[in-house]
Amino acid sequence: MERNVKTNRNKHTSLSSSNSTLTPNFTTLDSFVSKFHPIDDELPSFREFLKSVRIYPLPPQQRHYVPLKLKYRKDYKKYLRLITITLLRSLSNSNVFINGVPGIAKRGSRRFKEAGSVVGNGPKERVNGWGGCTETLTKASFFTMGEMLDYNWYKVFQLLGSMRMSELIINWKGFVKKNPISTLTATSGEFNAEFNADFNKVGEYVQIFGDGLTYIKKPAVLDSKLIFKSDVMNRNGRNLRFRHHRLIQLTADELLVEIFQANVKSRRYKRVKHVLESIIQNDVRCRYDILYRNLLIDRKEIDMSDILSNASELKDVVRFIFVILGKLFNLECWGGLENKKIIRKNIIRYLKLESISKMHIHDVCTGLQLVDFVWFGKNGKNGERSIHSKQDFEIRFQMMQRYMHWVFEHLVKKIIRNFFYVTESTQGEVLYFPRYIWHKIYNLWLEQYARENFIPTQLTGMEKYNYGRIKLIPKRNTFRVICVPAKRSVSSLGVKLDEKHREKQEIEFNVFRANDLRPVRLVLLKKLNEKRQMDISYTTTAISNQQVADKILKFRSELLDKFGAIPPLYVVKFDMKECYDRINQKQLLSKILDLFSNDAFGTKYYFRSHVKLNLNLQIKSVKHVVETDFSQFDLFTGGVKHKDLKELLMVIDKGKTIYLTRKNVLYHCVQQIFGAKCVIQDLQSGEMQWFRRRRGVFQGFCLLSIFCDIIYGALVAQEFRFLWESKDKMGKERLKGLFMLTRLVDDFLFISLSVDMYKQVVGVVQEEKSGNLRKYGAYVNHAKTVVVDDENRAETKTVQFVGLDIDIETLKFHKDYATAFGSGSGSGGGSGSGGGIVTSHYRTFQALLSYLKRSYTLRLYSYILKTECNDLFESVKCNVNNLLEFILEIFKKSYQRVVQLDEFKMEKFIVFLSLLLDNTISKFVEANACADSVGWSVDWSVDWSVEELFESMQYCMLHVFKNSGLQFEDVVCWLHEFDNV
């Protein structure tokens, strides 16, 4: 059998599924079998089984040789054993038929003796028995064998014979439909028939044989016509001296080739070469040090109390760049006065882009007068203004594009990178710090921070990617400290590597993260979830705004059920200072140990993955599972329930099983907590020094979020347990003990009817002497603490919590999307972080509208659509209209740019608005489980809430477009006509 190219399945960050090589055209097993044997006389149940199995042929270039030893086999069980051993020995580990089976190890070999955690396709424990199987090789772990032992497959074997059966298993992909009947209580044959008919439209297919997913490296294909803003972000933070600085290091001939990829001896490029020589000469004569000092440094005072104020204003950055370009370019280089204005305008546009935005070279060249670049002509030294032919025009236009690309990509970017440190604030604002000033504040602040929080240390050589370099993100009066993990082994630190070795190092880092840290995180998460099931205080943790909103809605409904109205409430909102940096390391490790206190010493935690595909065998999602029982990995008995499925899915078990013990988990936790190191350059000697944290954990490492949930979950369970105990002791007045406590990371919100509970919580939050919270490393930020009680209830109407504006009197809430996400615009509007919508790189209305539709749908969360009861409907309308107005305002700002590049078709825009209306109504009906309105058979004249929501969205659209100019008059007319209908 031919050996496949062996690929690592864990390189998710650098590898991608080669779906282009898969054959999406499937057939059913009955078609395959009927080619060799008639099936008309077979039992109906067997024919139904054959129709339920989908098979996909491998492409010719991926087919494998079928060994002749598989021929003339009569005993089915012995045949299954033989083909399993054959696949293992041929090293065709890509066939999912042998997933869950360890690779064969020869007795006496190192692989046989060692007790590692990972073995080929299965866990490595004690290798014995046939095929290198282990004691954990059960029907559940090797569930494909359990499926193949079914009588129906034995019947297929009889009809096909062993050779054709081998051809099917080796050179076809087989998917079997999961039988959902076993998971339900079928009361009658009529119900089963109805259920099965519905399940034909939804469900899961599990692959049981054939090649699984293979991964190939995709070559990085970059559009050379795109100019990225990310290229200047967080680059070269060192301070440089500019005494003899030069932007251009090439000769005129070399520069000519770099820009135009041209023959330097061509007559057309003689004048071009003369222009480039003048630019190089001006570059040599330019005194960058004087310009830098006079324009950026002299009148700038460093203010450590307001970090953001040290960044240069945009107008100063623009002036500095224009002064340098003015020194380099004469009017001829600009292409005339009018072209100069357009180019300078585009440079300003580029400076205003968000960090993830980009500009297209076509946008840069739009409006430029080609004839004014007279030195693009072919009349030698004097150039030529007139264009003689279409070919001449195309040559000049291509030259202009390449020249403009060089101006932006190599000159403007280089000026920015050399003289500024460009970064983002925690609010997503792009900041331009002069490099001297950034170097100064960076080192002054980090030196002080290191004295208080770091301990000098050395590398031991045993580290496992728990080290990195420090990155500072500026805040208003301080920095956020991030440790960016180094993707290199300890032995390669400080060594200059070529591209091949850098790529190899990055792959090894990604493999470690996938095979070690991800399983550890999932084990900790599993143990924490078990803790939540046993201890109600751990359920206060939320992982998203949606969970916070759901908790508020649930508490509101509970109050309305008990009292009929919302009684006066007491509220406490607080958060912690530098929650990650101040975590008590010993307490954290102690709480991690507590999670495993009920587990037996030898307990193993098995990690396995499976992939879900659509019907074209394209990846939809990858699910990673941790279990202590191997039987849970059987995809035929576990997985997604029928009620949660909305389409047909193909499921592939990735086969490789990793097991961890408590010792493995704790080792990695200790390495991430106590052993994590960062490197900082010494100001005096210039040497790199290593430090570890005195307290807290580094932001930037992948176990950080689960560590935070563990320590703060324990904090709530210990320090706020009195809330649940007080509620149980209230007896007849238990209703007054209703409360809600929730936490998202380090933000806490407490709401209660009881003034006694309120006072107790305030006492814990404001307590300074006992330090009950501080023993966990939790320091309350009293400046941001908000309380609502009888004294200030009249003044404090709303509380802002994790992006929700909560009305204290009614417990209604709404989201202000413009504030939460910034305002997107055609020039790259929208915050570069925090979920901002950036549209600067869209050049057609079709692409822009498609992106805005997706953005709208993704942000239309179910919790902002739930009415629960009619008095919440006004809040639903407010939230929907806020989001709708936010999206439409982004479109209006983007319109001014895109309309210069593409034709605006009103009918397609009206279709876009109709889709927004339709999607909103559909999700509204789904969120509220409206029995009278299913799908799009909504009777708007009957369901008043649907009709009213629809009308409110119409009015919102009219409000956005009614005074927006003549280009949207047709939209306003359409909305009026819709209203009249």
Mean pLDDT (the chain, rounded): 79
Q: With bands split at pLDDT 50, 70 and 90, how would you rate the model's confidence at 456?
A: very high
Residue 135 has pLDDT above 50, yes or no: no
At 820 the pLDDT is 53
pLDDT for 613: 76
How far CA 643 is from CA of 184, 185, 254, 647, 652, in Å, comes to: 11, 14, 66, 11, 21
Q: Enumerate long-range contacts of 832-838, CB under 8 Å, 24 or more apart.
A: 832/354, 832/355, 832/356, 832/357, 832/424, 832/428, 832/430, 833/355, 833/424, 833/427, 833/428, 834/427, 834/428, 835/859, 836/354, 836/428, 837/887, 837/890, 838/354, 838/356, 838/357
Which value, in Å, is the radius of gyration of the alpha carbons in the chain?
33
Q: Which of 205, 141, 103 is nearest to 627 (CA)?
A: 141
Is the pLDDT at 930 greater than 70, yes or no? no
Phi, psi for 653 (deg, rounded to 5): -80, 125
- Look up the pTM and report it: 0.80
What was the pLDDT predicted at 338?
93
Q: What is the pLDDT of residue 114?
A: 34
Spatial separation of the C-alpha atoms in residues 713 and 592, rounded to whole Å: 11
How many residues are there in the chain? 981
Which spans in 35-130 are helix H? 44-52, 76-89, 110-113
Asked which of 230-234, 342-346, 354-358, 610-614 is least confident by mean pLDDT, the reply is 610-614
**Residue 100 pLDDT level (bands cut at 50, 70, 90):** low
Cβ-count burial 491-523 (b if 16+ within 10 Å, e if not): ebeeeeeeeeeeeebebbbbbbbbbbbbbbbbb
pLDDT tens-place string over residues 736-768: 668 899 999 999 999 998 888 999 999 898 876
Mean pLDDT of 891-907: 86
pLDDT tier for residue 687 given thresholds of 50, 70 and 90: confident
Which pLDDT belongs to residue 893? Answer: 87
Contact present, 434 and 300 (Cβ < 8 Å) = yes
Helix locations, 738-788, DSSP H: 755-766
pLDDT tens-digit profile of 245-257?
Answer: 889 989 988 898 8
Look up tokens 């792959």; give the residue: 507
Whether the per-residue pLDDT at 384 is higher than 70: the answer is no
Cβ–Cβ under 8 Å, residues 363 and 345? no
Q: What is the pLDDT of residue 669?
A: 93
Is residue 92 over pLDDT 80?
Answer: no
C-alpha distances in Å from residue 674, one per residue of 525, 828, 846, 848? 20, 42, 52, 48
Q: How many helices (H) and strands (E) does the chain have?
A: 32, 27
Do the strands 467-474 and 454-457 form a parallel or antiparallel pair, or are they unpaired?
unpaired
Contact present, 753 and 565 (Cβ < 8 Å): no
Q: Above pLDDT 90, what percent of the chain?
A: 27
CB 115 within 8 A of CB 102: no
417: which 2 tokens?
A: 């990178």
**CA distances in angstroms from 451 to 47, 304, 447, 480, 691, listed in the order given:** 76, 17, 6, 16, 10
Can you give the pLDDT at residue 750?
95
Say whether pLDDT at 56 is over 90: no
Q: Over 80: is that where the pLDDT of 153 sits?
A: yes
User: Which carries the bigger pLDDT value, residue 324 or residue 97?
Assistant: 324
CA–CA separation, 704 vs 521, rounded Å?
9
Mean pLDDT of 441-466: 88
pLDDT band at 524 (very low <50, low <70, confident <90, very high): very high
Residue 185: pLDDT above 80?
A: no
pLDDT (tens digit per residue) in 564-623 = 888 889 999 999 998 899 999 999 999 999 999 888 877 888 888 877 777 677 777 788
Q: For 313, what's the count of Cα atoms within 13 Å in the CB-facing half-sphere?
A: 6
Contacts of 640 (CB under 8 A, 6+ apart): 204, 649
Which residues have a Cβ under 8 Å from the Cβ of 416 and sit 6 or more positions away? 232, 317, 321, 351, 422, 432
User: What is the reported pLDDT for 280?
Assistant: 94
Closest C-alpha among 916, 936, 898 to residue 855? 916
Amino acid symbol at 926 = E
Three-class DSSP labels, 216-240:
ECCCCCCCCCEEECHHHECCCCCCC
Give the H/E segment covering residue 954: helix 944-961
Q: Are 573 and 749 in contact (CB under 8 A)?
A: yes
Nearest to 953 by CA among 980, 926, 913, 922: 913
- 264: pLDDT strictly greater than 80: no
- Distance, in Å, from the CA atom of 363 to the CA atom of 347, rounded to the nearest integer, reads 11
- Give residue 132's pLDDT: 37
Q: Residue for token digits 């009308």?
A: 951
Whole-angstrom distance, CA of residue 486 vs CA of residue 489: 8
